[in-house]
Structure 1
Amino acid sequence: MKPLFTLRLVALVLPLTVIALDAQAASLRCNSKLISTGDVTSDVLSRCGEPVSRSFLGYKQVPGPRYGESMEVAVEEWIYGPWSGMLYFVRFEGNRLSDIQSKRSGN
């Protein structure tokens, strides 16, 4: 009976762990202020200042305000740094911060 209980426990806990990891928001510290996914462009600018670079990447279809609707939003990537040897790539979809990636500068 014990192996069956262990298998059931793993089957229950593993999906919950994956969901919890997926729910974590990306964040970046700019000086003493923090930006996170979901922040608007004006908040990022006020906390981190002007980026080193801004690139317009195109448009993306996202779900609209009503069920079954979709809308097109602009996608931009801003680059901050190098800070302590790292470059930070901040992506916006519409007016919202959607992703933060980092990379060692010089690579």
Structure 2
Amino acid sequence: MRKFAASTLFLSLFALAHTGSASAQSLSCNGSLSGVGDSKFSVVQKCGEPMSKEFVCVPRPQVAWVLSPYPGGPAQQVVTQQCVPMEDWVYHRGQGNFLGIVRFYNGAVESVRDGDRVR
């Protein structure tokens, strides 16, 4: 029963952490699309340099095992929040359009989402 509760807790936290994430989109640049899985080099080739770059810490659930303080006691599963370093590039799509925000993880596009509307 204890394993089931820990697994359920982990899955619930995982789903909650990913509920707010943007769906897979792409960024249209000069007739080409950049999307999930593209490298930084590929995005720069298609879209040019962004108007800004920012390193961000994205909290993600991480499962760790903690040894029991009692001899022979079972290890316990603990879910913690881990900082995952990522990089956000912001692209100006023109007046009246939304900013394009491309998030990179390990050098590849992790997500593309809309930012504020440019006035």
State the TM bucket, normalised to the shorter chain. Answer: 0.5 to 0.7
Q: 1:25 to 1:41 in 2, by over 3 A?
A: same
Q: Does residue 1:105 correspond to 2:118, yes or no?
A: yes
User: What secondary structure does 1:55 align onto?
Assistant: strand
Post-superposition, which runs of at least 4 consecutive aligned residues in structure 1 deviate over 3 A? Answer: 58-61
Query: Could you say which structure has the greater relative contact order, defined with CA pairs below 8 angstroms and 6 or more residues apart?
Result: 2
8 A Cα contact 1:92 1:98, kept in partner? yes
Deviation at 1:84, TM superposition (A): 4.5
Matches within 5 A, 1:1-107: 25-58=24-57, 74-85=85-96, 86-103=98-115, 104-106=117-119
Q: 1:88 to 1:43 in 2, by over 3 A?
A: same
Deviation at 1:35, TM superposition (A): 0.6
Deviation at 1:26, TM superposition (A): 1.5
For normalisation by structure 2, the TM-score amounts to 0.53
Deviation at 1:60, TM superposition (A): 6.9
Deviation at 1:31, TM superposition (A): 1.2
Counterpart Cα distance in 1 of 2:59 and 2:24: 21
For normalisation by structure 1, the TM-score amounts to 0.58
Q: Determine which structure has the larger helix proportion and give its number.
A: 1
8 A Cα contact 2:95 2:118, kept in partner? no
User: What secondary structure does 1:56 align onto?
Assistant: strand
**Residue segments in structure 1 that go unaligned for 5+ positions in a row:** 1-23, 62-71
Deviations 1:57-85 (A, max 9, x none): 13777xxxxxxxxxx96400000004242
Corresponding residue pairs, total: 75
Structure 1 vs Structure 2 CA RMSD: 2.5
